[in-house]
């Protein structure tokens, strides 16, 4: 009876275990395959944005025109402005109100930007920082809006919410209609060298002069589209701008002795340049091999010693641009040269103080010219008439003009590090003319769409400028440290810039690396270049989204890249592919009809090569993947005669098993070494498992025992 009870109990446990196993095997799951399509993450295609990634037949975008009179008050370091805005509602929607960006309000006394920054009391600090943080009166920044009026001069209802202003329309603006209104304003210009900022002035104690680099200086309309509606996210200082295209008529009044550069075509050169400068400008328009000096250092040094009390007005017209900026100073040296863009002459120009010479004189305008050539080759011909690099001692970009860092030592010498950094930033900022000034993505939402794509293109221009250019961002090996870092401080690329820790690595470095890997390793130059150019040409002077980029790259290349976008852009997974082990076999004639493979555990040569067989050596190589990213397996074989052979298995090799795969290899030469990713093409975060044998004890014959155990 006791034995019967034990038997029944044993059968109960066996049955329970069996049922549990049955239940486990029948339990369902969602598709977790790394190669599943992105359809659930991408928006549904429609008549405005197609499934191919191209603009649809119903695609629309708004247009905003500006007429502005600007006064630069050098004595008070202030900007005064009076603007008329014409808003064209090209959408199918009726708009009950409009939204305007007031970016300067980030610097207002009541700004919330400082409040969202964490802070601590330091153990010690400099007196300068102490005074600035605890004693000095806060800078009185921000727009001082004097009036907002209808075109007939009557007051226009409006509501200011930090860096945004809502225009309350008396009547909704119907599709196809336009609305005009006026804003009058002024603000105190910040010293960007001491107070920070994306624009402002730099003060020089010698002769008490200022270099002005002015942007975000006027109330600007927000973007309205079918993706975000109104893009009226607050400006906290990091994530940049979303802007509509339009036409600008801008009159800028400055001290008479200032040299100025700005967005747009100058309408009155004979009123603002000397005869000598006009003659030099004409020469520059025909000089394609080197910059021509328009205002020399000697002339600029003489001018900066005195301050004219008279003024002059620079008159500009800019067609189909998304923004406006200018730079002005009596200290500026001015040079220019012509650039041939597919038969069209474009002017590359630079404005810089003597403190930046000879570095800027040697390289600035040449770097501008190279950028226009390289970017035009890979995207579309540069459509504007000029591009200007300004000694602004920051890195910021605007249509046709940008502000860049870099200065030599006081004696005029400069190191390679200083030179290459200045050239790098200049190329990057000039390159922004293409992304996002023309391919006009939403910087506030998707920083990587302009910074990442531009950082990738920057690499190509740098290598064109100097084949030995020391590229620091974009090569796969250079992103490894970031990707292998603390996961709690890493965000996916598909994150808003305001919300990431390592902004530079996330928005610039990693997406640039991703594109470099696509071009150099996964797709190949021909397919990638065609797809990338297709994207740029489809979306120039339009508003693309990430989905438009992803879809176009696949549509124009015929390469399914959903697995790549998912891994690199939507996750923080890393690449780590290694060699688990290797087994060696030799073939033996078993019968007249059969060949038998026998594992060779020795380190010697295989024996009994079958008649007429080309291969003498046979191997089973098992690769593992501790990292979350699926990537191609790039493997290099070294043979006993010293020769090498490279083989790449597509990423799809991981489609059935995301952890481990085995490949059979045969050769007439004995393999002595195997290396995964020998040229560091995939941003592999751990190369300690990339070679086989890894040491003397870990030879070919050892893997069999390891597999058994």
In this prediction, residue 191 carries a pLDDT of: 96
Paired tokens of 667: 């050769």
Mean pLDDT of 36-51: 95
pLDDT of residue 20: 53
Asked if residues 228 and 445 have their Cβ atoms less than 8 Å apart, the reply is yes
Give the alpha-carbon dihedral of 228, 230, 236, 237, to 10 degrees: 90
**How far, in Å, CA of 547 to CA of 52, rounded?**
10
List, for residues 473-526, the tens digit of each pLDDT value: 999 999 999 999 999 999 999 999 888 889 999 999 999 999 999 999 999 999
Q: How far is it, in rounded angstroms, from Cα 74 to Cα 72?
A: 6
Residue 702 confidence (pLDDT): 44
Cis peptide leading into 693, omega within 30 of 0? yes
- The model's confidence at residue 277, banded by pLDDT at 50, 70 and 90, is very high
- More confident site: 115 or 224: 224
Which two structure tokens, joined as six digits, stand for 526?
């021909």
The CA distance from 133 to 135, in Å, is 6
Torsion of the alpha carbons at 281, 282, 286 and 287, rounded to the nearest 10: -30
Helix (H, G, I), strand (E, B) or coil at 676: strand
Q: What would the mean pLDDT of 325-348 be, rounded to a whole number?
A: 98
Reply yes or no on whether the pLDDT at 116 is more than 90.
no
Q: Where are the alpha helices (DSSP H) in 466-524?
A: 480-483, 503, 510-517
The pLDDT assigned to 238 comes to 87
Gap between the Cα atoms of 522 and 516, Å rounded: 9
Which pLDDT belongs to residue 698? 47
Q: In terms of pLDDT, which residue wins out, 597 or 309?
A: 309
Provide the β-strand partners of residue 575. Answer: 684
According to the model, what pLDDT value does residue 614 have?
A: 64
Q: How far apart are CA 318 and CA 325, in angstroms?
A: 11
| Residues 588 and 598: beta-carbon distance below 8 Å | yes
Over residues 358-395, the pLDDT tens digits come to: 999 999 999 999 999 999 999 999 999 999 999 999 99
Residues in a beta bridge with 72: 79
Cα–Cα distance between 697 and 581 in angstroms, integer? 13
Residues 117-131: what's their mean pLDDT? Answer: 84
pLDDT tens for 167-206 read: 999 999 999 999 999 999 999 999 999 998 999 999 999 9
Specify the residue for token string 């919300």: 499
| Contacts of 642-645 spanning 24+ positions with Cβ under 8 A | 643/669
Q: What's the mean pLDDT in 15-30?
A: 64
User: What per-residue confidence (pLDDT) applies to 489?
Assistant: 93
The pLDDT of residue 707 is 40
For the chain, state the CA radius of gyration.
Answer: 32
Distance CA 329, CA 284 (A): 21
Check if the beta carbon of residue 175 is closer than 8 Å to that of residue 182: no
Pull the structure tokens for residue 529: 């270049």
Inter-CA distances, 304 with 206, 209, 260, 271, 354, Å: 9, 7, 14, 20, 10
Average pLDDT of the residues of the chain: 92
What's the distance, CA 278 to chain centroid?
38
Q: Are 257 and 303 in contact (CB under 8 A)?
A: yes
Domains parsed from the chain with CATH numbers = 34-59+441-572 (1.10.390.10), 60-116+127-244 (2.60.40), 270-310+329-437 (no CATH), 578-708 (no CATH)
**Across 567-581, 653-667, 688-702, least confident range:** 688-702
The yes-or-no verdict on residue 28 having pLDDT over 80 is: yes
81 falls in which pLDDT band (50, 70, 90)? very high
Strands (E), 302-427: 311-321, 326-329, 333-341, 344-352, 386-391, 396-398, 401-404
Q: Give the pLDDT confidence score for residue 585 in this predicted structure.
A: 87
Confidence class of residue 2 from pLDDT cuts 50, 70 and 90?
Answer: very low
């Amino acid at each position: 009876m006791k034995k019967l009870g034990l038997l029944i109990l044993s059968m109960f446990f066996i049955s329970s275990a069996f049922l549990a196993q049955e239940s486990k095997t029948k339990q369902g799951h969602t598709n977790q395959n790394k190669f599943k399509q992105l359809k659930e993450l991408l928006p549904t295609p429609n008549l405005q944005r197609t499934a191919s990634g191209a603009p649809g037949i119903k695609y629309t975008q708004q247009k905003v025109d500006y007429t502005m009179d600007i006064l630069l008050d050098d004595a008070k370091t202030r900007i005064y402005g009076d603007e008329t805005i014409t808003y064209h509602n090209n959408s199918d929607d009726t708009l009950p109100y409009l939204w305007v960006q007031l970016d300067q309000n980030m610097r207002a006394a009541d700004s919330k930007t400082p409040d969202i920054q964490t802070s601590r009391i330091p153990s010690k600090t400099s007196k300068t920082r102490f005074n600035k943080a605890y004693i000095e009166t806060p800078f009185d920044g921000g727009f001082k809006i004097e009036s907002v009026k209808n075109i007939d001069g009557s007051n226009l209802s409006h509501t200011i919410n930090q860096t945004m202003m809502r225009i309350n329309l008396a009547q909704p603006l119907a599709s196809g209609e336009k609305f005009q209104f006026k804003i009058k304003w002024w603000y105190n210009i910040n010293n960007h060298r001491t107070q920070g900022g994306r624009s402002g002035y730099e003060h020089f104690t010698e002769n008490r002069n200022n270099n002005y680099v002015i942007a975000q200086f006027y109330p600007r309309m927000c973007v309205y589209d079918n993706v975000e509606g109104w893009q009226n996210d607050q400006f906290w200082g990091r994530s940049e701008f979303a802007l509509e295209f339009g036409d600008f008529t801008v009159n800028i009044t400055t001290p008479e002795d200032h040299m100025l550069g700005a967005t747009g075509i100058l309408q009155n050169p004979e009123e603002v340049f000397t005869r000598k400068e006009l003659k030099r400008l004409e020469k520059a328009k025909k000089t394609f091999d080197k910059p021509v000096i328009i205002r020399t250092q000697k002339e600029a040094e003489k001018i900066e010693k005195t301050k004219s009390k008279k003024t002059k007005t620079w008159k500009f017209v800019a067609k189909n641009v998304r923004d406006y900026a200018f730079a002005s100073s009596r200290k500026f040296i001015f040079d220019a040269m012509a650039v041939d863009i597919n038969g069209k002459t474009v002017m590359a120009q630079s404005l810089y103080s003597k403190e930046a010479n000879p570095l800027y004189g040697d390289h600035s305008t040449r770097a501008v010219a190279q950028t226009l050539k390289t970017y035009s080759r890979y995207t579309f011909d540069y459509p504007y008439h000029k591009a200007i690099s300004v000694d602004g001692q920051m890195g910021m970009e605007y249509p046709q003009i940008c502000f860049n860092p870099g200065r030599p030592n006081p004696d005029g010498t400069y190191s390679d590090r200083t030179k290459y950094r200045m050239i790098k930033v200049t190329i990057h900022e000039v390159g922004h003319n293409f992304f996002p000034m023309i391919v006009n993505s939403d910087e506030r939402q998707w920083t990587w769409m302009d910074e990442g794509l531009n950082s990738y293109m920057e690499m190509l221009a740098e290598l064109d400028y100097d084949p030995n250019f020391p590229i620091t961002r974009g090569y796969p090996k250079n992103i490894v440290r970031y990707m292998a870092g603390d996961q709690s401080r890493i965000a996916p690329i598909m994150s808003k810039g305001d919300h990431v820790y390592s902004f530079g690595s996330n928005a610039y470095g990693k997406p640039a690396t991703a594109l470099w890997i696509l071009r150099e390793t996964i797709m190949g130059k021909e397919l990638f270049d065609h797809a990338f150019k297709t994207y740029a040409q489809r979306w120039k002077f339009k508003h693309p989204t990430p989905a438009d980029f992803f879809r176009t790259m696949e549509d124009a290349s015929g390469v399914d890249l959903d697995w790549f976008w998912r891994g690199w852009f939507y996750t923080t997974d890393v690449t780590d592919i290694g060699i688990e082990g290797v087994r060696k076999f030799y073939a033996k004639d078993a019968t007249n009809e059969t060949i038998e493979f026998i594992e060779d555990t020795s380190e010697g040569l295989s024996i009994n090569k079958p008649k007429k067989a080309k291969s003498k050596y046979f191997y089973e190589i098992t690769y593992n993947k501790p990292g979350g990213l699926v990537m191609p397996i790039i493997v290099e074989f070294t043979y006993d005669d010293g020769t090498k052979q490279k083989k790449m298995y597509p990423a799809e090799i991981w489609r059935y098993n995301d952890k481990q795969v085995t490949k059979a290899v045969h050769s007439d030469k004995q393999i002595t070494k195997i290396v995964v990713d020998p040229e560091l093409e995939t941003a592999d975060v751990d190369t300690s498992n990339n070679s086989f044998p890894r040491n003397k004890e870990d030879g070919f014959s050892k893997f069999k025992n390891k597999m058994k155990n």
